[in-house]
Amino acid sequence: MWDGTKYVAVDYDTEIDAIKIFTETYTVTGTKQVQVTAPTTSTEYVYVPAGTLKAEKGMTWAERLVSDYNTTGETNPTIKTANFEDVSNDSVILADKDYGFMSYTLSGTWQFNDTITSPKDLFVSESISFTYEGMINTDIYVGMYCEDDRSDDWILINYMYIDTALSNQPTYSHEVYCDRWHNTNYQTLNFGFEPQEVSKEFYEWFTANATKINIIPEGGVYYVGVQAGVDGLEEGEYKNPTATYYAGEKFPKPQMGDVFVYDNYEYRYNQTVYINADANRAWKDDEIIGGWGCIYLGDSNSEYNAMLEYINDKPVVHTIYAFDGMTPTFADDFKLPRHVADTSYMFYHSNMTELPANFEIPYGTVKIESMFSNCYYLTQLSDDFRIPETVLDASGLFHHCIKLQTVPKELFAESNVVNLDDTFNYCFDLKIAPVIPETIKANILATKQ
């Protein structure tokens, strides 16, 4: 509602759910997600909706940015339509259209070109974590430098680095390029596994002057074409690999049967971890979702740190039986990969008593069948825990959670689930149960007719 100076959020019928947040991800077929075509100038970006924001009828994008509806703090987003057309800040937000906020990210290892090009008078800077030769860095500055005895401007690049040898870990500026590289070692930067968001201006300059090279990190081992034995593939058992790659070597192109071992996790390419209830493991081509599966290799009392989200630019999409039978403690950074689609049986027979702080099932997840089945010691869920609207199958979700006492009443408030078979079966101590919306009841009824 307009209060005379700006729009303020209200709960009236004038609100519209028009804006989607698009994130870089894979496409899951067979769901109700909207696929957005990547721009013709890039092969890296494919977007699907990852949430809904609010606006008001008649509001322009510029008005929304300075209103109470801008709850996520956007300042100057690059706005696109579902057809990847540019959207002006002066245009009115329409309720019958999908929009996206396009983001630019960098991850992995990149190598600068020998010669750097840059538009006249360009100055860009970016705060981003990266390493080279073991140095920890925080910023990259790019600008023009005019030498007195030259008629041409030189391009100047500085890195900011942290001196970890000193107790106060001061930050220093280090010139690495001025018309030429001072040392070729400065050309190779590692931004880490997880994508870091950067500005459009920096991304366009950087990708015009550098090439991505995916390098296996320290502690990682990559097995190509591992074959499952007659009894299935056990954790840590890598039979007959056609090739093995170690830290410092380039990742090969992922193919069916590849295994990447890193940081107490085993990632398997394009396969489901279990094929039946008696825990036989085998490779299985998954035509719906192309990506990595993940299981944990540590002992039952290990601290679970965050899983990877990408390996060699391919997303981690399965966490089936990832922590089967574990007694976990969770690191502060523990979270599910944001592109995970199937978390079935993820904590099956786990002895945990509660979920990690701020734990959530990512938007885009489709199947959570028996995710917490047989968690005998799980007693409650946090009040803000929700099943996202993309989930279709929640059957057996809390099956045999015999000590579970309370779940949020709004657990399914955002959900479009169609399968709730045995979701709370044998939950003998359940005192507070969730409300099942009429829309979900209709979905379930429709599937059984």
pLDDT truncated to tens, each residue of the chain (449 aa)? Answer: 445 555 455 444 444 444 444 433 333 222 222 222 333 333 333 333 345 566 777 788 888 888 877 766 666 677 777 666 778 888 887 766 667 777 778 888 899 999 988 766 677 788 888 887 767 777 787 776 544 444 456 788 888 877 666 666 667 778 888 888 999 988 988 888 777 888 888 888 899 999 988 888 888 999 987 754 334 445 556 767 889 999 989 899 888 778 899 988 989 886 543 333 333 333 344 434 467 888 888 766 677 888 888 888 788 888 888 888 888 788 877 888 877 888 999 999 988 888 887 888 988 788 899 999 999 999 989 888 999 888 888 999 999 999 999 999 999 988 888 889 999 999 999 988 888 888 787 767 766 65
Single-letter amino acid, residue 254: P
Question: Quick one: tokens of 58?
Answer: 């008649």
Neighbour-count burial for 314-353, b at 16+ CB within 10 Å, e otherwise: bbbbbbbbbbbebebebeeebbbbbbbbbbbbbbbebbbe
The residue whose two tokens read 């946090």 is: 382
Q: How high is the pLDDT of residue 5? A: 53
Question: Quick one: tokens of 159?
Answer: 């890195």
Exposed, middle or buried, 449 (CB in 10 Å: 0-12/13-18/19+)?
exposed
Identify whether the C-beta of residue 25 lies closer than 8 Å to the C-beta of residue 339.
yes
Domain spans of the chain, in order of start: 15-103, 109-211
Single-letter amino acid, residue 433: A
d(CA 252, CA 434): 47
User: How far apart, in Å, do the first and last CA atoms of the chain sit?
Assistant: 44
d(CA 364, CA 336): 12
Sign of the torsion angle spanned by Cα atoms 274, 275, 280, 283: negative
d(CA 432, CA 304): 29
Across the chain, which distance is largest between two alpha carbons, in Å? 84
**Bridge partners for 136 per DSSP:** 131, 162
Residue 359's Cα: distance from chain center in Å?
Answer: 14
Phi/psi for 269 (5° steps) reads: -85, 125
The residue whose two tokens read 């010669």 is: 115
- Return the HEC string of the chain: CECCCCECCCCCCCEEEEEEEEEECCCCCCCCCCCECCCCCCCCCCEEEEEEEEEECCCEHHHHHCCCCCCCCCCCCEEEECCCCECCCCCECCCCCCEEEECEEECCEEEECCCCCCCCCCCEEEEEEEEECCEEEEEEEEEEEECCCCCCEEEEEEEEEECCCCCCCCEEEEEEEECCECCHHHHEEECCCCCEEECHHHHHHHHHHEEECCECCCCCEEEECCECECCECCCCCCECCCEEEECCCECCCCCCCCEEEECCEEEEECCCCECCCCCCECCCCCCCCCCEEEEECCCCCCEECCCCCEECCEEEEECCCCCCCCCCEECCCCCCCCCCCECCCCCCCCCCCCCCCCCCCCCCCCECCCCCCCCCCCCECCCCCCCCCCCCECCCCCCCCCCCCECCCCCCCCCCCCECCCCCCCCCCCCECCCCCHHHHHHHHHHHC
Identify whether the C-beta of residue 94 lies closer than 8 Å to the C-beta of residue 179.
no
The residue whose two tokens read 């790019």 is: 142
